[in-house]
Amino acid sequence: MKKHNYSAGPCILPQSVLNMAAAAVLDFNNGGLSILEISHRSKDFVAVMENARQLALEHLQLNDKGYTALFLQGGASLQFLMTAYNLLDKKAAYLNTGTWSDKAIKEARRIGEVVEVASSKEANFNYIPKDYSIPSDADYFHCTSNNTIFGTQMKSFPEVAMPMICDMSSDIFSRQLDFSKFDMIYAGAQKNMGPAGTTLVVVKNEILGKIKRDIPAMLDYKVHIAKDSMFNTPSVYAVYVSMLTLEWLRDLGGIAAIEQQNNAKAELLYNEIDRNPLFEGFVAKPEDRSAMNATFNLTDDGMKDTFDSLWKEAGINGLNGHRSVGGYRASMYNALPLESVQVLVDVMKMTENKA
């Protein structure tokens, strides 16, 4: 039975990517060896790393604009620390839109002063704060573009005078933005880019090297840049599968094409949430709703067993909400087909009919 994979991450990847990824575990590039057992310094893998880095920049239209793409380890969680280590001299400004913003702030506070310019914590992060001012003497402004747990997404970004850094872990490569407005973007691979185990960092070279702090080698972006993202052994397979996924995205028309699909999926589901009296969205303001993660609840808890049985019977996977929100969360990342959203919407209608 076909599964409809709504997992919040690690999450659905394109079937064609999985087929190639499985084949490479047995024989990579017809070389008689597995991708898992070749040297990361081999010509074949160096080509993978360079291709993945180049594709990431091209998708973001940041090639030839003074940016470097790196595939590091440690997830966005390590980036919370690295951004502050490399860029926080006196004071940094953070927008708090959810659990991951909150964690980023906590780690940065170990390094220097952090000004939280706004927060929606008091409302369990069910909206994106919009009216706030950023201290003009901040070293950088940090935000989280999409909040997986709460289902909110920043639809616009402030105009700032200092470097803007964005954690795009859960919506990178999903929509068109002017990415050149950002001076650094980072994203764990395990949503729209590949499997868990590697993290994309895209950084504008000129913002680095401006503070005096001694930076440990593994936390220093300049060290990783100087070594072409191979200062130490990279997460070979995760980078390879990310490259395959970035090629898949290129072949179907890039971010512009996938954005149309993502908008169609989101519209289909949110229309049903709004129409169906049995469901209500978690996010307070429709304009803050994420196209990646739709969070919603039943209006009648008595229908929970019915709904849960129906979606499981339909082959849907990973629909339970995060414990800090409850209810349901439908994660509709790039590789999720519209057909899977239709299956969920049909189940919602069936549940309504049984109420």
CA pair distance 237, 195, nearest whole angstrom: 9
| Rounded least distance, CB 9 to a second copy, Å | 7
Active-site annotation holds for 167:
yes
Our answer to whether residue 100 is catalytic in this structure is yes
CB of 120 to a second copy, least distance (A): 23
When the beta carbons of 204 and 265 are compared against a second copy, the nearer one is 265
Please tell me the distance from the alpha carbon of residue 126 to that of residue 120, in angstroms, as a whole number. Answer: 7
Residue 69's closest CA among 254, 246, 291? 246
- 14 vs 163 by CB, closer to a second copy: 14
- Ramachandran class of 110: left when φ > 0, alpha when ψ lies in -120 to 50, beta otherwise: alpha
CA–CA distance, 103 with 169 (Å, rounded to integer): 14
DSSP secondary structure code for residue 310 in this structure = H
Name which of 62 and 197 has its Cβ closer to a second copy: 197
Task: Give the nearer residue to a second copy in terms of CB position, either 175 or 224.
Answer: 224
CB of 284 to a second copy, least distance (A): 27
Of 199 and 262, nearer to a second copy (C-beta) is: 199
Q: Considering 139, 183, 191, 265, which one is annotated as catalytic?
A: 191
The smaller minimum CB distance to a second copy, of residues 97 and 331, is found at 331
> Which residue, among 263, 298, 206, 224, has the nearest Cα to 72 in the 3D structure?
224
Q: What are phi and psi of 141, to 5 degrees?
A: -115, 130
Q: Tell me how far, at minimum, the Cβ of 201 lies from a second copy, in Å.
A: 14
Question: Are the beta carbons of 213 and 85 closer than 8 angstroms?
Answer: yes
311 is catalytic: no
Name the maximum alpha-carbon separation found in the chain: 65
- The answer to whether the beta carbons of residues 101 and 107 sit under 8 Å apart is no
Give helix 236-251 / helix 15-26 axis angle, nearest 10°.
140
Pick the catalytic residue from 167, 171, 220, 288. 167
**69: helix, coil or strand?**
strand
Least separation in angstroms between residue 71's CB and a second copy is 11
293 - beta bridge partners? 331
By C-beta, is 63 or 317 nearer to a second copy?
Answer: 317
Least distance to a second copy, CB of residue 118, Å: 24
DSSP 322: P
Chain residues in the site for a second copy (CB under 8 A): 1-3, 5, 7-13, 18-19, 21-23, 25-26, 31-34, 36-40, 42, 73-78, 80-81, 103, 106-107, 110, 188, 190, 194-198, 214, 216-219, 231-238, 241, 315, 317-318
Q: Write out 95-160 in H/E/C secondary structure.
A: EECCHHHHHHHHHHCCCCEEEEEEECHHHCCCCCCCCCCCCCCCCCEEEECEECCCCEECCCCCCC
Phi, psi torsion values for 188, nearest 5 degrees: -60, 145
Rounded least distance, CB 5 to a second copy, Å: 6
Q: Catalytic residue numbers?
A: 100, 167, 191
